[in-house]
Structure 1
Amino acid sequence: MEELTFEKALLQLEELITSLEKGELSLEQSIQVYEQGVKLTAFCNKELKTAKLKIEELKAESKSE
């Protein structure tokens, strides 16, 4: 299985949103797509927090030099 990256998760999330907006899914399918979207959103938020912390660390290191 391919490793999920922020960019891939974001692309998948955009595709899920598009499929929901079309309104062609059954209720059960919509719930499954929504659930997957929630998981992808949590993954993206985690990745963004990690990136933010890394940037803050780099800024702090550069100020101390």
Structure 2
Amino acid sequence: MKSFLWLLVGVGLGFVVAHRVNETQKGREFFSSLDQKARDFGEAVSDGYRQREAELRSAIGD
């Protein structure tokens, strides 16, 4: 129970710090670039999944 409480405190502090950082110009730039990188990564994973799925389907003749 004590560990869960510390987890909640850490998450809360993380949100507060992220909110404060996002109020600055450099913070907005940081979070914007982080968001773009995460989207690019997600798209790459999705594309790879679709390509591999197509390869497997063609291999089994589906």
Fold in common (TM above 0.5): yes
Q: Secondary structure at the match of 2:35?
A: helix
Runs of 4 or more above 6 Å deviation? none
Q: What is aligned with 1:7?
A: none
Q: Indicate the structure (1 or 2) with the bigger Cα radius of gyration.
A: 2
Taking the aligned partners of 1:63 and 1:43, their CA distance within structure 2 comes to 30
User: Alignment identity in percent?
Assistant: 11
Structure 2 gap ranges (5+): 1-13
> TM-score with structure 1 length normalisation?
0.57
Q: Which has the higher contact order (CA 8 A, sep 6+)?
A: 1
Aligned-residue CA RMSD (Å) = 2.1
Match of residue 19 from structure 1: 17
Residue 27 of structure 2 aligns with which residue?
33
| Matched residue, 2:40 | 46
The structure in which a higher percent of residues are helix is 2
| Structure 1 unaligned blocks of 5 or more | 1-14
> TM-score, length-normalised on structure 2?
0.59
